[in-house]
Structure 1
Amino acid sequence: MKLFNFKKEPQTVIVCIHGFGQRQQDEFIPLVNYFNKYEVITPELYDIHDPRDDEWVDWVHRAEHVLDEAASQGKRIILIGFSMGGVLASYCASKANVDKLVLIAPAFEYVNLPNATGFVTSLFEKKDDTPSSYPELPPNFTITFANLVNNCKPAIEDIHIPTLIIHGSDDDVILHTSSKKFIKKIPTEEKSLITIEGVKHRVLDHPIGGKIALENIRLFMNNKIVVKNQ
C-alpha cells in the first residue's frame, strides 16, 4: 500500500500593529470583523493610562514579542500596520519571520509643521466635537512617537517580502505622497501601492474605502492580485 505524506499548511495569523492615538486596537475593529475566520492579534503598544510608559523601544518590543510567539509556533504571519504602526510593522518585517506585509496610511512622513508640544498628538486624535470615550494621550508620548518613527523607518530599505501599501488620497494627517515616496525605498519587486480616492487617514472607518481596503488585503493575502513594482 502506497503512503502519501501530505504536508500540513501552516496556520495563518494576522498581527495588527495600531497607530498613535487614543483608540489603539479599536482602529482594527472593521478588520477583525471582516477576517473573523482567522486568528487576529492586536497587541497594545503602550499603556495610555501611564505617562511613564514613554520608551519607544518598549513599544517596539511589545510588537516583536507577539511576532516571536507566532513564529515559534510555526504560523504564517500576515503583518498589518496602521499609521505609526505601519512604520513599526516595516521595522519588524525586516527582522521577523513575516510572510506578507500590509501598511495602511503608514506615518513615514507625519507632519510638515514644527513639532510643538501636543501638536502631533492633536493630529491623531478625534477632530470633531463628539465626546470621546477614550482617555487622552499623555503629552510626553508625542516625543516617543517621533523617536519610534525616526528610529524604525530606515528599516523599510531592508524589506524583502511582498508588501502592499494602502493610502487615502485625502489623508489630512499623512499625505498619500509619503507612501508614493517610501514604496520606492522597498527593495523587493513584489510591492504595490493602492490609493483609495476620497478617503482620509482612518481608511478602515470609511464606509466605502474601508471595504475596498479590506477586500484588497484579502486578495493580497491569498495571492489573487498581481503585485507589481511601483
Structure 2
Amino acid sequence: MKVGVLFIHGYTGAPYEVEPFVNYVKEHTDWEVSVVTLPGHGEELELREMLAEDWTMEAEIAIRKLMNQVDRIHVVGFSMGGLIALYLSLRYPVERLLLLSAAAKYIAPGQMLQDIRDITVDLLKKQADQNPVYMRYRQKAGKTPLRSAYQFTRIVKLVEPYYEKIRIPVCLVQGKKDGIVPFQAAEYLYEQLGSEEKQLIYSECGKHHICYSDDCDDWFKQALAFLDQPIPMPEDTIPSVS
C-alpha cells in the first residue's frame, strides 16, 4: 500500500522548519512526501491580509491532492501546523499524527528571556549574525502584524474544543527549552487528546525549531518508527487458528 505524509510548517515560518525530518523520511522510506507552504508564508512574509481560513483551506487542498496518490496518509505538523494537522484529522481519514512543538499553548517567558540574554551576549561580542535565534527574530520583526497574530489564535481556538474527539494514534515531540511553546503544553495536549495510542517524546536540549535540535537524530528514529506502524487488521478479517 502506498503511504503518503503531509508536512505543515508553523506560523510565520516556511518548509525549512521541517526540512531536516522531511529529508530523513525521504532517505529511509519510499513514501510520497508533500510539504505545504501556507498562504502569506515562505521566504517573504505577506501576512497582513491572511485569514485563518486561508491556512486551513490550503492544508485541505494539499491533503486532498495527496489522498489521490496514496492509500494511507499521515500528517506531520510543526507548531501552528500541529494544530492544523489536528484539524485535518477531524475531517479526513488521517491514519497517524506527528505533532512537533504543537502550539496548544504558547510563549514560554522564561526560555524566551534566556534567548534574549544569549542574543545580548552575542551582540556585545559582535557575533549576533552567528546566533540563529537573533537572525530569526530579526527577519520576522515588523513583518508580523497584530491582525495576523489574531488569526493564529483563531486556529488555536478552532481545534481546542475537539481534542478529546481525536482518536487516531498521535505522537508529540517537544523541546524542554522551547522559548515559544512551553514544554508543559505537550503534557496538556497529551492529556486532552482522546487517542488510546499516544506517546510523548521530549528533547532535553530542543528549542522551538525542534527539527534542528542537537538530539534530533534520536527522536527522528522514534518518530519514524511511530509513523511506520502496520495497519491493525479488523477482528473479522484475522484468520482463525484451528
TM-score band (shorter)? 0.7 to 0.9
Provide the rounded CA distance (Å) in 2 between the counterparts of 1:129 and 1:71.
Answer: 37
Report the alpha carbon displacement of residue 110 of structure 1 after superposing the two structures with TM.
0.9
* 1:177 equivalenced with 2:184 (yes/no): yes
Query: Structure 2: 5+ residue runs without aligned partners?
Result: 110-131, 231-242
* 1:84 equivalenced with 2:80 (yes/no): yes
Contact kept in structure 2, 1:204 and 1:211, CA below 8 Å: no
Contact kept in structure 1, 2:164 and 2:195, CA below 8 Å: no
- CA offsets, 1:150-191, max 9 Å, x none? 212323221111110010112121111111011111112101
Alignment of 1:67-146 (within 5 A): 67-111=63-107, 127-129=133-135, 137-139=143-145, 140-146=147-153
Computing the radius of gyration over CA atoms, which structure comes out larger, 1 or 2? Answer: 2
Query: What residue in structure 2 maps to residue 40 of structure 1?
Result: 33
Query: What residue in structure 1 maps to residue 3 of structure 2?
Result: 12
Contact kept in structure 1, 2:108 and 2:182, CA below 8 Å: no
* 1:66 equivalenced with 2:66 (yes/no): no
Query: What residue in structure 2 maps to residue 195 of structure 1?
Result: 202
Contact kept in structure 1, 2:108 and 2:178, CA below 8 Å: no
Provide the rounded CA distance (Å) in 1 between the counterparts of 2:55 and 2:169.
Answer: 25
Contact kept in structure 1, 2:96 and 2:168, CA below 8 Å: yes
- In structure 1, give the amino acid aligned to 2:189: F
* 1:157 equivalenced with 2:147 (yes/no): no
Query: What residue in structure 1 maps to residue 217 of structure 2?
Result: 211
Kindly indicate which of the two structures has a greater share of residues assigned to helix: 2
Contact kept in structure 2, 1:14 and 1:78, CA below 8 Å: yes
Cα RMSD of the aligned pairs, angstroms, is 2.4
Structure 1 residues 96, 136: closer, same or farther in 2, change over 3 A?
farther
Query: Structure 1: 5+ residue runs without aligned partners?
Result: 1-8, 114-125, 225-230
- Identity rate of aligned residues, in percent? 25
Provide the rounded CA distance (Å) in 2 between the counterparts of 1:129 and 1:186.
Answer: 35
Provide the rounded CA distance (Å) in 2 between the counterparts of 1:131 and 1:175.
Answer: 18
Report the alpha carbon displacement of residue 135 of structure 1 after superposing the two structures with TM.
9.1
Report the alpha carbon displacement of residue 75 of structure 1 after superposing the two structures with TM.
2.7
Aligned length: 201
Contact kept in structure 1, 2:205 and 2:214, CA below 8 Å: no
User: Could you tell me the TM-score, scaled by structure 1's length?
Assistant: 0.79
Alignment of 1:48-59 (within 5 A): 48=41, 49-59=45-55
Structure 1 residues 112, 134: closer, same or farther in 2, change over 3 A?
closer
Contact kept in structure 1, 2:107 and 2:179, CA below 8 Å: no
Deviation larger for 85-94 or 69-78? 69-78
